[in-house]
Chain A
Amino acid sequence: MESIQDTSSRKSLCFATLVVMLSTLCSPAIASRSIIDSAGRTVEIPDTINTVFAAGPPASVLVYVVRPETLAGWPRALRKNEIPYIAADYQSLPETGRLTGRGGEANLETVLSIKPDLIIDFGSIRDTYIDLANRVQAQTGIPYVLIDGRFDQTPAALRLTGDILGASERGEALARAAEKLFSRVDAITAAVAEGDRPRVYLARGPDGLETGSKGSINTEIIERAGGRNVIDAGDGRHGGLVEISMENMIAVDPDYIVTWDQNFFADARQNPLWAGISAMQEDQFYLSPTAPFGWIDRPPSLNRIIGLQWMSRLLYPEQWDTELSEEAAQFYQDWYHVELDEEQLQVLLSWAEGQPPE
């Protein structure tokens, strides 16, 4: 008898817990407000946000920068050389997987078990992603916000995210910093006619022959920094990732080549085929640091703010009177919440000069 009672009481306890959980999920009692995301969707979100699930790497950088204590985990576990450049509290956040993009491997049950107050995706706001957001939101009951990830939209993204996460002041301050940098590089660029701007190639992939054509999210930093992407479909379409041949490389003959691939960087400097390219002959072949995130891409997120400065310095060195070391230290402190010691800073600076850490 006793055991039956016991079971039934346990059952009712379970049931009660379930009711409470469900009511927490869809209870109107919790204070909430509606916001309009970058895709124009009206999303009902709780007033206080404690946990955010980042749908992909760009979103994780955005959330980490704006309000790291809400970040539920990293879509991809941090690599060894990236860890020191993340604030101590967030170095060991769990790996959560991506919710969007090609992999889409994050399990919705995993998302639910994390019980985030909000899902944020930062990047494309095309219909596919809007549809995905609506579906996931309907399925899980968790509000899902889309934020435009185009580089030019960075200040708006920072303000919107600040507002959503209850960090309006920080969002505003960062947005102002981004605007200041944008107008600084734009002022430099404005003085140079389109046709006179340096011709830049962003090399991706192990052989450096993968790139983004003009307008792709991966290479938009080139135009922003006042360069011209040598790979241009020319029809005004937003480009994507493409593969070119070595002959094409010689034909387009860029003045500058930037990459973050260390293998390619080491190989190309010894490769006679690359030796004839103007960028090589002018010694304008550069490697970008990737810790904790890539400076120019990988992922295409707020990490490009420091990359923009770095690239503008490469293209227009005489226009910059501040030291990269100071600017980088300041950026890592203001945006990534880490105070770099002398050694860490030196690693980054040597990296940016073509000597990556082992």
Chain B
Amino acid sequence: MAKEKVLIYKRFERFWHWAQALLISLLALTGFEIKGSYSLLGFESAVSLHNFSAVALMILIVFSIFWHLTTDEWRQYIPTYKNLSAQLKYYTSGIFKGEEHPVKKTVRRKMNPLQVLSYLGLKLVLVPLLVFSGIFYMSYRFTSGGQLMSFTPFTLEDIAFWHVLGAYLLVQFTLIHMYMTTTGHTVTENLRAMLTGYEDLEVEEQEPREELDKNLQTN
């Protein structure tokens, strides 16, 4: 099969990905300073930047949800167990033997089943955990109309517990994510694709979307 340069990550997707990468890095950097792990920007600047990045990220998330819904790209995240164990086997042994990736990457199916599961977990569990605990953290006390208000369904201690737990998990996710980008056909292939949008893919006969979904459901 011939390889062809294909636009796999669209402009918004790349913007979304890198903006998110920047914001999450800032949030982690400032968040762990606020937690007391180290001193870098100073507590006050760390808090301001953390709050600013958090709001920016939440806006970005709203836009990305809108984008996923309107472009039908959300279907990329429909979980499948087909090839899941093959993919696991590839990462734990095949990759060392120079075997081929068990799942072919296509524009309609950019992620392998393991990726789908991880990103689904990220988007449905981990990010909501951080976002909602963060919202509770930010709205624990606030002022409105010259009045001091409190929104305290949970104690600050509990909110911080879940927020910090989520933060550790997200840092771990990011570490593994960054490492996994090196497991393409070349070490930098995936990174380059996320920067330029284009990747050399083996072009298969285009399956109609309905066909693809049917396959997914039967498996």
Pairing of A with B: no
